[in-house]
Structure 1
Amino acid sequence: MCMKLMKADSRTSDANNRLLTEIAIDLAYNKAQDIYRDLTGVVYYSYDSQYREPCSRNYNDAIRDLEQTKKIFTDGDYDQIPDQVSKAADDIRDCKNQFDRSDINDSKELKKRNTELEVLCDVVKASSKYLRHRNDNDN
């Protein structure tokens, strides 16, 4: 699944660790925004309001955390990326738990997209560790 998500972006073909981290952050941020729009949009599908509203708040927080991750990345403070993206992942997991408790059929697609977003957050964490290691060797 990880490679499928990453190959969706044309920048990955010849990317180094830094660019892969940037791409993973962008993909996670965009996926979080897409899910948030679906949860809060004019067309609510038949999503269960029991999890739609709390998850909307969680996704709003996750988007904010991913925006901060982008800023940290741009500033080159790679040591802070895993902690920051973990905050987003925690918000995403809170929704996953709500989806798991729901028997509504529409939640299946959200569960899948939520899982993809979790994987992207894991990719960001893993790839940023390589950047931290590279920075330690440069000093």
Structure 2
Amino acid sequence: MTPTSIGHKLTDTEIKYLCSKTSNVRGCYKLLKFDSRTANVDARGIAEVSVDLASNKANKTHSLLTSSVNATHDSRLKNIYKLCPNNYNDAIRNLKAIKNYQLSSAYKNIPSQVKDGYEEIKQCKKVYGEAISDRAHIKKKNPEF
């Protein structure tokens, strides 16, 4: 998103185009198109909604991970559950930074924060690729983020 794209309401075609730049096109479109906040927003508004959706998902997954550490008796899985909360903490920190950049118009910093947050969750996804059993369904939560 750039400051020059602020001001006109996004069309369905523009939302599809934005989502085509993601690794989960269908999920992105479904989230953005059917979130009531996106009905009358411009590019800045859709960015704010996207960050809010990602923050909510990251916070929920982080909570699930931390509660799963205490709930499982499988030591291998417990160790895996202990690794990813740090990744989600870092991703949440990056999303908070993006919110601050949006408020201060420091747009040039947003792409690096998005990439950093994505990389944190990608690392967590690699860890879960090794898990035999995943009772908390974290393997499904990572792509949702």
TM-score by length of 1: 0.75
Over the matched positions of the two proteins, sequence identity in percent amounts to 35
Match of 2:94 among 65, 70, 77: 65
Indicate the residue corresponding to 1:21 in structure 2: 47
Q: Which runs of 4+ in 1 moved over 6 A?
A: none
**Contact 2:61-2:138 within 8 A present in 1 as well:** yes
Tell me the distance in 1 between the aligned counterparts of 2:111 and 2:139: 23
Indicate the residue corresponding to 2:66 in structure 1: 40
Number of residue pairs matched by the alignment:
116
Indicate the residue corresponding to 2:122 in structure 1: 93
Indicate the residue corresponding to 1:137 in structure 2: none
List per-residue Cα deviations over 1:52-78 (Å, max 9, x = no partner).
111011111111111111111111111
List per-residue Cα deviations over 1:79-117 (Å, max 9, x = no partner).
11010111111110110001111121425x312221011
Tell me the distance in 2 between the aligned counterparts of 1:92 and 1:11: 26
Match of 1:53 among 65, 68, 82: 82
- Counterpart of 2:66, as a letter, is T
1:12 equivalent to 2:38? Answer yes
Question: Larger Cα Rg: Structure 1 or Structure 2?
Answer: 2
Residue 45 of structure 1: how far off its partner (Å): 4.5
Match of 2:112 among 70, 76, 83: 83
Tell me the distance in 2 between the aligned counterparts of 1:27 and 1:42: 22
Give the gaps of 5 or more residues in structure 1: 118-139
Q: Higher relative contact order by CA 8 Å / sep ≥ 6: 1 or 2?
A: 1
Distance 1:51 1:63, change over 3 A: same
- Counterpart of 1:60, as a letter, is N
Give the gaps of 5 or more residues in structure 2: 1-26
Indicate the residue corresponding to 1:132 in structure 2: none
Tell me the distance in 2 between the aligned counterparts of 1:19 and 1:35: 24
Alignment RMSD (CA, Å): 1.9
TM-score by length of 2: 0.72
Secondary structure at 1:36's aligned position in 2? helix
